[in-house]
């Protein structure tokens, strides 16, 4: 391969990673999580109570679940470029639409539609990432979500038009336009299995491992979303001097966190890294409930930010390696279902502050870590001896020893 070809390939990979990062920035950083730093403003200015705020948050998670489910049921319809662009536009419109009224029903609808669009964009972006060559693609792509969180948080903190909740939503809508432009040309090809392909024999071991992965990721969805929704509001109560910067720090920590964990995944099996990231996150979620100091809030933001996107970055390639058909979409459905359960689970506790809710979230994330340990042990006990220096083509990656420790070469769309 000559220098010109290498340069062109590197440019293509860089552009692909940039588009994927922009997609995750708009669908997660804005579409999903900009509500978190704006929530305290809506409490104080729009008369939004804590329980009602949880209901509005749940609308977004319900929409996310529906969007993810649609990508499973109708992938050829919901993973197209036209659908990607429709959802990018929807993210902009629904973000701006939050300013049009103070009616709960309209807020619920806007956040639900935003959640559905976010899920479709997320599934398309992750599948595009898994098809992109290059060792560092995962870390930098998922770091895009951290960039989106940090930028949206900074816009709310800086409040160019004053500390007004409507101005904050307009700033977020403007940011989503910029990020949507960056994601506009993201490739969305769906792999259609050949009609003459031989059906594969059932693989009970990988099926059991995938089910364990689903359970762990579901529990992570339940636990992490409690902090993802209420962390800033909790810090506002316990360490108000740090509250404005807490969410920005979460986003900033996610950027090097994704890159760091991606680097570690090239040296350690992902199944080993998963319980470690979950355990660290559980500590981060619990800290603001255990201490009202700014130092605790700082450590909590770093631990939470440094792990919550990295966990998805670790889990989704594991699902692809296990060759479960449509693994990204299936795992995203489980995760989004957990996100619906999370706010509803703690809503009765919110009238007395956010500490108890965060402790519940930490316990659930710790449970996810426990399931991940079982996943790791089950994989190591049943894995055959590695095949030394053997090729690992796409069609046989599962047979090359420990399926959760090999480099990712599987295609998540086709389940191969």
Q: What's the pLDDT score for residue 3?
A: 59
Q: What's the pLDDT score for residue 203?
A: 58
Q: Which of 24-33, 304-313, 400-409 shows the lowest per-residue confidence on average (mean pLDDT)? A: 400-409
Say if 195 falls within a structural domain: no
Determine the average pLDDT of the residues in 123-128: 91
For residue 147, give the nearest of 62, 23, 36 by alpha carbon: 23
> What DSSP line would sit under 315-384, residue for residue?
HHHHHHHTT-TTHHHHHHHHHHHHHHHHHHHHGGGGGG-SHHHHHHHHHHHHHHHHHHHHHHHHHHHHPP
Say if 335 falls within a structural domain: yes
Of residues 192 and 41, more confidently modeled: 41
Q: Is the pLDDT of residue 387 over 50?
A: no
Q: How confident is the model at residue 380 (pLDDT cuts 50, 70, 90)?
A: low
Say if 92 falls within a structural domain: yes
Say if 413 falls within a structural domain: no
Reported as a single tens digit per residue, the pLDDT across 197-253 is 454 544 556 888 999 999 999 999 999 989 887 887 788 787 777 776 888 999 999
Q: What's the pLDDT score for residue 87?
A: 97
CATH code for position 330? 1.20.1250.20
Reported as a single tens digit per residue, the pLDDT across 41-61 is 898 899 888 888 888 988 998
Q: Is the pLDDT of residue 336 over 50?
A: yes
Say if 118 falls within a structural domain: yes
When divided into structural domains, the chain yields a total of 1
Q: How confident is the model at residue 13 (pLDDT cuts 50, 70, 90)?
A: confident
Report residue 389 as tokens: 């220096």
Q: What's the pLDDT score for residue 55?
A: 86
Say if 405 falls within a structural domain: no
Say if 231 falls within a structural domain: yes
The per-residue pLDDT of the chain, averaged, comes to 83
For residue 308, give the nearest of 300, 319, 298, 297 by alpha carbon: 300
Domain that holds residue 66: 13-189+203-383
Say if 346 falls within a structural domain: yes
């Amino acid at each position: 391969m000559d220098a010109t070809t290498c340069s062109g390939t590197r440019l293509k990979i860089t552009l692909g990673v940039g588009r994927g990062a922009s997609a995750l920035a708009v669908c997660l950083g804005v579409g999903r999580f900009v509500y978190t730093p704006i929530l305290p403003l809506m409490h104080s200015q729009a008369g939004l109570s804590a329980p009602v705020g949880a209901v509005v948050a749940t609308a977004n998670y319900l929409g996310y679940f529906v969007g993810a489910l649609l990508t499973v049921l109708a992938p050829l319809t919901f993973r197209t470029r036209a659908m990607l662009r429709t959802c990018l536009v929807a993210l902009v419109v629904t973000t701006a639409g939050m300013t049009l009224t103070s009616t709960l029903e309209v807020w619920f609808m806007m956040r639900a539609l935003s959640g559905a669009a976010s899920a479709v964009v997320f599934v398309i972006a992750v599948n595009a990432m898994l098809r992109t060559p290059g060792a560092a693609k995962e870390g930098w792509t998922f770091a895009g979500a951290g960039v989106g969180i940090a930028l949206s948080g900074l816009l709310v903190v800086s409040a160019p038009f004053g500390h007004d909740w409507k101005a904050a939503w307009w700033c977020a809508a403007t940011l989503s336009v910029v990020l949507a432009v960056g994601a506009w040309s993201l490739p969305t090809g769906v792999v259609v299995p050949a009609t003459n392909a031989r059906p594969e024999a059932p693989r009970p071991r990988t099926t059991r491992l995938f089910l364990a992965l689903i359970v762990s990721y579901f529990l992570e969805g339940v636990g992490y979303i409690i902090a993802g929704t209420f962390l800033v509001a909790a810090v506002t109560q316990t360490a108000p001097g740090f509250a404005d910067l807490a969410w920005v720090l979460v986003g900033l920590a996610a950027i090097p966190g994704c890159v760091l964990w991606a680097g570690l995944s090239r040296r350690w099996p992902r199944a080993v890294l998963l319980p470690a990231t979950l355990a660290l996150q559980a500590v981060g979620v619990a800290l603001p409930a255990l201490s009202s100091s700014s130092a605790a809030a700082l450590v909590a933001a770093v631990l939470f930010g440094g792990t919550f996107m990295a966990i998805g970055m670790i889990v989704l390639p594991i699902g692809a390696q296990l060759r479960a058909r449509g693994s990204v979409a299936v795992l995203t459905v489980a995760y989004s279902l957990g996100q619906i359960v999370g706010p509803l689970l703690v809503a009765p506790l919110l009238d007395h502050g956010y500490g108890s809710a965060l402790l519940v979230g930490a316990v659930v994330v710790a449970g996810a870590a426990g399931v991940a340990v079982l996943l790791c042990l089950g994989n190591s006990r049943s894995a055959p001896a590695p095949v030394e220096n053997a090729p690992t083509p796409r069609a046989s990656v599962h047979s090359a020893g420990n399926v959760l420790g090999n480099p990712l070469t599987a295609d998540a769309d086709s389940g191969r």
